[in-house]
Amino acid sequence: MEPHLLYPLSEFYQQLGRPLPEARTLQPEEMPETHRRLLVHERDMTPTLEAAHGQSLHVQALKRSHRDDSYSRLVLLKLDDGSTAAMGAISINLAVLPENTRQLVLEDERPFGSILATCHIAHYCCPAAYFEIKADAPIVEALGVDVECPLYGRRNVIRGSSGAELAHVLEILPKTAPPRDPFA
């Protein structure tokens, strides 16, 4: 069964008893150019956003859930200057990760892509959907955007070199474009 368009964000909304914000699937070419450059690719978002902003990313965990070998977190990816580069929800399969990697994940200090790079875990990204989402109250508060302004994001599956699912990720970008093109 195909996950919900907004999975794993949908899991956090369900836990909070909140209705999901309005969202619709987009084809890559329907996305505004500034967001397409940052979302439509098969790379990790961590290095893509760091290159675009010229700063390192840090995790600010908003919510967490840990059941058996599944660890989920709702986060803001913050830049060195304190601004927000993205909002994300991730569900990580701890069972397929080495112990040292699991420990880094549970510390909630670094983005998952950064942890995978540091631990030299071969992986690849499989974007599953691109979307436009209307910012509701929690997203407005987290990203500091206008009420009900359209934002853009992607749902992605990160797989290990064997094809095992390491994580499901949902990434939403704020309205403002970063200062530089990561592909330039």
Q: Which tens digits make up the pLDDT trace of 123-173?
A: 999 999 999 999 988 888 888 887 767 899 999 999 999 999 999 999 999
Where helices occur in the chain by DSSP H, the ranges are: 9-16, 33-39, 45-53, 99-106, 112-118, 137-143
Pair type for strands 123-134 and 84-93: unpaired
Pair type for strands 70-79 and 23-26: unpaired
**How much of the chain exceeds pLDDT 90, in percent?**
78
Q: List pLDDT tens digits, range 68-108.
A: 999 999 999 999 999 999 999 999 999 999 999 999 999 99
Average pLDDT, the chain: 91
Report the pLDDT value the prediction gives residue 124, as an integer from 0 to 100: 95
Which residue type is seen at 153? G
Bridge partner residues of 129 (DSSP): 155
CB 37 within 8 A of CB 142: no
pLDDT higher than 90, residue 12: yes
Report the pLDDT value the prediction gives residue 92, as an integer from 0 to 100: 98
Report the pLDDT value the prediction gives residue 146, as an integer from 0 to 100: 75
Q: What is the CA radius of gyration of the chain?
A: 15
Domains of the chain: 9-173 (3.40.1410.10)
Q: pTM for this one?
A: 0.91
Distance (Å, whole) CA 79 – CA 16: 27
Banded model confidence at residue 182, pLDDT cuts 50, 70, 90: low
Distance (Å, whole) CA 182 – CA 184: 6
- Nearest in space to 132 (alpha carbons), one of 118, 109, 148: 148
